[in-house]
A and B are shown apart, each in its own frame.
Chain A
Amino acid sequence: MKPKHQRLIFIAFSMIFMVAAVLLTMQAFRENLVFFYSPSDLSQLSEKPSGLIRIGGLVEAGSINKLNEDSLSFSVTDGQDSIQVEYTGLLPTLFREGQGVVAEGNITGIKHFTASRILTKHDENYMPKEVVDSLKKTGRWQESR
């Protein structure tokens, strides 16, 4: 085989791999985007998102309700709107009233959210970036500091 042909074969193989990789990536990409919404974002949407989403805001004071031994409900607020969140499982160590929280899960009703995962901050000064932005929008940022 001439070097030219070898090079052509090599380039052809590389192209096939690249295309396969790109297709694989795009497919995985489309299925795994998790969008973030604040409670007021959600109430403005005409069509409720169906897949896995993240919501975030502050845990409303006095809203934590133990449903039984290991499930509970609480409401997440951004100052304008709030949404009821239900969660089964142990909470992260820093989960507390009046503090920032991000919940991952699905919309299961009007203003009702079932969380499969609760993410809180790593330390007292850390606030999820999405939550900071949405609180700034509703003017509650200073208050929660």
Chain B
Amino acid sequence: MTAEFGISCLILATLVATFQSFYLFGKTSFKVACMPQAALLQALLVSLALASLVILRVESDFSIQNVAQNSNLHLPILYKIVGTWGNHEGSMLLWLWVLSIFGNMIAISQNIDTALRNMAVAVQSILALGVMIFILLTSNPFARIFPPLTDGKTLNPLLQDIGLALHPPLLYLGYVGFSIVFSLAVASLLTGIRGRQWAHIVHPWILAAWSALTIGIGLGSWWAYRELGWGGWWFWDPVENASLLPWLSGTALLHANIVLKKRGLLGQWVCVLSIMTFALSMIGTFLVRSGALTSVHSFASDPARGLFILAYIICTVGGALVLFAMRGNTVKSEEVASPKSREGLIILNNLFLITACMSVLLGTLYPLFSEWLHGNKLTIGAPYFNLTFIPLMVLPIFFAGLAPYLPWKKADFFKSMHAAKPAILSCVTAIFVLFAIIKTHFLYGILGFGLAIWLLFASINLLLTRNLRANLPVAIAHAGVAVLVAGITGSGLWKTEQEKWLRTGDTLQTGSYALTLENKSAYEDNNYTADQSIFRLEYEGKLLDRLIPEYRNYRISNARTSEAALYPHFGGDVYAVTGETSKDGTAVATRLYHIPMIHFIWAGFVLMALGGVAAIIMNRGKTIDASL
């Protein structure tokens, strides 16, 4: 019954979305009045459909294919619930749910011109309609199987982690959050509401989507770091790149829109970025869902699905771009930005961010094209991304510290730098002191730490010398970037690792940390058996703690995973992971990492997102300020 209820809700929601999308083709007063209510109804129906799937999973109804394939009786209740989006069908339903909720939020939000709002809701419904048809035709989560199974298969053991509860919903909030920006951009082309007024309306949505995407990416890295057992947090895996692309373009959009908001410049560019950012979000979904790229994220590889998503992207993005080509030239700005003003630096940063975005896109898509065109199978390794992406980020990070000190319009460069003097002086001192202590001579280290210190000091100094309230969000977000850069540099520079087969009493040493195998034990859980190794961890001969990593064997899928044991120390982690036991049963394969400053990376992600949230709060209720 629940399944039929769920599918009925989904079909009804499709009808509502169809009705809403008619708004685009002529508006009767009846339809105008109905738009907010229709959006609410659509969101409600999709929520009920999602709730039905959650209930089916909690009840373990194994006559439902989706539940039978991805759940079983022994699965803890948490994973029964959050496993809802741990598979293709469920995750598409979650995608749709976020899309509908956002559609409803824009429909009920105040202070928006009614015509623009209704048009945005209609565009959002068209987006939703495509996803609904996709779900109904190719990925029905409520499909039944006959005969029903007595017990289900299992959830991929790597997904059985708290990360699954948090990472996909937040990532989707970010990906799909940019759909609102897209819808508002298309609506602005259709209604003619542009410029600073439009920028003020769209800004909180950009901030919200960007913050969610930032945290979503951070959580994904944190999850990979703990679960995959390689002691790394970013692998330039195609799927990670897929989330980085909309982030880079979204960051560019966020800054460009500030220029539009304050100065009324860059209208066309912001419009293109709004369309592009959501397009990149969808390309990310396409790459992951079509099975074009294989990774831990690809649940199913069905070419029909890939083609459908590709067609969906071409229709929505293509349609928006055609509209832009027809109407975009009326989004004109008369003035030219001076390169020595704040907007000048923001434009420069935009160029860098988009170039970086394109170089990552090239590296991610090239293997696909190469295979289609030449039949060559190849991969593009991490060195490519490090060589292109990192140099492209150097100047933008430097400018990020500088820009908030420059006034809008035209600036006397040296006069405005006066306020930044304390930051510059203390930064130079700190860099010298730091390198006297740590004696790093690598260009990478000097550059990384130098930039991090500069941006951090510049941000703190901004709070001390300028208006606190106005500069708090930018200071927090930029400090987040600084802390992240410091974390990336430090963990990359000083990470050490050792691996060895250990017998009881053997010691593995990395840096000042020593890991000694004390003994081994095993235990049984509902859905796996685990070999535990009990290690003594010492730092310069002093006992720190006991580390107990596990090597698990999930019974139903016969899959093995390593559960790393972490010991946080001085902002870094000592990370121990074990693998198989040798044939004679005495030695266990052990890897020990010391990853300094890794916590700076997590803190950086959190600070950046906090900056975004602070900006939403600080800007609330603000109307367009007097023209500059």
Contact = CB atoms under 8 A, between A and B. Distances in A.
Nearest to B295: A122
Contact of B158 (A3, A28, A123, A128): A123
B157 to A, nearest CB: 7
Interface stretch (A79-87, A88-96, A107-115): A88-96
Contacts of B234: none
20 contacts: A6-B339, A10-B337, A21-B355, A21-B392, A24-B392, A25-B388, A32-B384, A33-B380, A34-B380, A35-B376, A36-B377, A52-B381, A54-B379, A70-B499, A90-B579, A91-B580, A93-B561, A123-B157, A123-B296, A130-B377
Given A7-B336, A28-B387, A33 B378 contact: yes
A45 B337 CA distance: 57
Contact of B589 (A24, A27, A33, A90): A90
B394 to A, nearest CB: 12
A33 B384 CA distance: 8
Given A34-B378, A34-B379, A93-B579, A69 B158 contact: no
Nearest to A124: B559
Contacts of B355: 17-18, 21
A129 B294 contact: yes
Given A89-B499, A93-B561, A3 B336 contact: yes
A2 to B, nearest CB: 10
A14 B337 CA distance: 14
A13 B347 CA distance: 12
A6 to B, nearest CB: 6
Interface string A126-137: 101110010000
Contacts of A29: 362-363, 366, 380, 384, 388
Nearest to B384: A32
A28 B501 contact: no
A88 to B, nearest CB: 10
Nearest to A66: B583
Nearest to A3: B336
Given A3-B336, A69-B501, A31 B383 contact: yes
A3 B266 CA distance: 16
Nearest to A128: B294
B519 to A, nearest CB: 21
A61 interface: no
A67 interface: no
B560 A17 contact: no
B378 A36 contact: yes
Contacts of A32: 380-381, 383-384, 387
Contacts of A93: 229, 551, 560-562, 579-580
A70 B501 contact: yes
Contacts of B158: 122-123
B500 A70 contact: yes
B416 interface: no
Interface in A28-66: 28-29, 31-37, 52, 54
B156 interface: yes
B336 A6 contact: yes
Interface of B: 156-158, 229, 293-296, 336-339, 344, 347-348, 351-352, 355, 359, 362-363, 366, 376-381, 383-384, 387-388, 391-392, 499-501, 551, 557-562, 579-580, 589, 591
Contacts of A129: 293-294
Given A21-B355, A24-B387, A28-B383, A13 B551 contact: no
A93 B294 CA distance: 19
Contact of A35 (B229, B377, B560, B591): B377
A13 B344 CA distance: 12
B524 to A, nearest CB: 19
- The 10 closest A-B CB pairs, nearest first, are A28-B387, A36-B377, A32-B384, A129-B294, A35-B378, A3-B336, A122-B296, A90-B499, A21-B355, A123-B559
Nearest to A53: B378
Contacts of B295: 122
A62 B354 CA distance: 51
Pick the most buried of B359, B388, B579: most chain A CB atoms within 10 A of its CB: B388
A21 B379 contact: no
Contacts of B337: 10
A142 B450 CA distance: 56
A142 to B, nearest CB: 17
Contacts of A6: 336, 338-339
Contacts of B499: 70, 89-90
Contacts of A124: 557-559
Contacts of A126: 294, 296
B82 to A, nearest CB: 18
A125 B157 CA distance: 12
A18 B379 CA distance: 25
B577 to A, nearest CB: 9
A133 B392 contact: no
B501 A24 contact: no
Nearest to B580: A93
A6 B379 CA distance: 43
A5 to B, nearest CB: 10
Contacts of B294: 126, 128-129
Contacts of A90: 499, 501, 579, 589, 591
Contacts of B376: 35
A34 B384 CA distance: 11
A83 to B, nearest CB: 16
A130 B379 CA distance: 10
A82 B377 CA distance: 18
Given A34-B380, A90-B579, A123 B359 contact: no
A7 B560 CA distance: 60
Contacts of A52: 381
Contacts of A36: 377-379
B388 A10 contact: no
Contacts of A9: 339
Contacts of A130: 377
A93 B558 CA distance: 12
A83 B570 CA distance: 46
A37 to B, nearest CB: 8
A136 B594 CA distance: 42
Contacts of A33: 378-380
A90 B591 CA distance: 8
Contact of A25 (B157, B362, B378, B381): B362
Contacts of A123: 156-158, 296, 557, 559
Contacts of B591: 90
Given A9-B339, A90-B589, A133 B377 contact: yes
